[in-house]
Amino acid sequence: MPALSVDRAHGPGPSPLAEGLLTMLAVVTACLLMAGYGRGVQELWTRRGAGQVVPGWRVGAFGAGVLVVLAADQGPVHEFAESSFTGHMAQHMLLLLVAGPLLAAGAAGLPLSLAAPAPLRRLLARWRVAPPVRRLRRPAAYALLAGAGQTVVLWFWHLPGPYVAAVDRPAVHAAEHLCFLVTAWLFWAPVLGSSRHRAPAPVTVLLLVGTMLPASALGAVLTFAPEPVYPARVFDAEPLTDQQLAGLLMWAPMDLVVLVVALSVFLRWLLRMDRDRPDGLDGDQARRAADPVAVEAGTEGMLR
């Protein structure tokens, strides 16, 4: 991701050459990612038919996610982040709560694998069937690992040392945004990805709520701290107010998005359970109703 151009609140900015190179790298990476995804989707649709395996809405979600990533580091959001901590937090929330879910909804694993060169595909196939990787790829284990990864990354990059380093150094800032994007992508994959890779509904709800709580705690620390946590140069003209607004920007949207998604997953789970069990039947009656042979055998025994 392009580095943060440190301006009024952030002191001397990075060299134009370094920022230009990082911007070019970000654009080239996004183009290659889109090209690979498009190539894989085209191959799938050629084999199975348009809209099969990867529906059109997932393709649109993936494209929108890439655009959000670029928008978060360019244009008005980038300019806002140059002069305030709140603007920088807005970048983080766009990556964590918008770009990450959209990329995860794109279900990019299969399309990108198909677009990879044959030697790389064979290497990935061998890697996927290795016993340690197979254990980690179980939906529940993967979901817990992804949630822990996002929590660690979120707290680490908002500690004073790493955050100031990201503000001062373009390469460190690029690494910070890349960490946010990758962990958000991996975190939302078992929630919004293809159905065969999703975690069970109870695990998903626990994952969402369990990850929301540490993020809320970090937002609360920034909001209620009696004095600025970071050096004054990373804020705008009102450091404490800027920090409080940034804390609220992390706290409220994160809680709202996670709670809405968790409630949606929980309600869908309840509706699916209701459809699987007919109304008015207990467990034994439902099993007998679903097994005509058993019902017929029982009736025949009664007649005898």
State the CB neighbour count (10 A cutoff) for residue 147.
Answer: 24
* Domain range annotation of the chain: 16-303
Closest CA to 230 of 154, 168, 159, 160: 160
Q: Look up residue 60 and give its two tokens.
A: 């649109």
State the CB neighbour count (10 A cutoff) for residue 33.
Answer: 18
Cα–Cα distance between 129 and 35 in angstroms, integer? Answer: 27
Cα–Cα distance between 96 and 92 in angstroms, integer? Answer: 6
pTM check: above 0.95: no
> Given this model, what pLDDT does residue 9 score?
45
Task: For 88-142, write each residue's pLDDT tens digit.
Answer: 999 999 999 999 999 999 999 889 888 888 888 888 888 877 888 778 778 778 8
Mean pLDDT, consecutive 10-residue stretches, the chain (304 aa), reads: 40 61 85 92 89 90 94 83 88 94 92 86 82 78 88 95 90 92 92 82 88 92 93 88 93 91 91 72 50 46 40
Q: Look up residue 270 and give its two tokens.
A: 């309840």
> Given this model, what pLDDT does residue 66 score?
94
Cα–Cα distance between 69 and 66 in angstroms, integer? Answer: 5
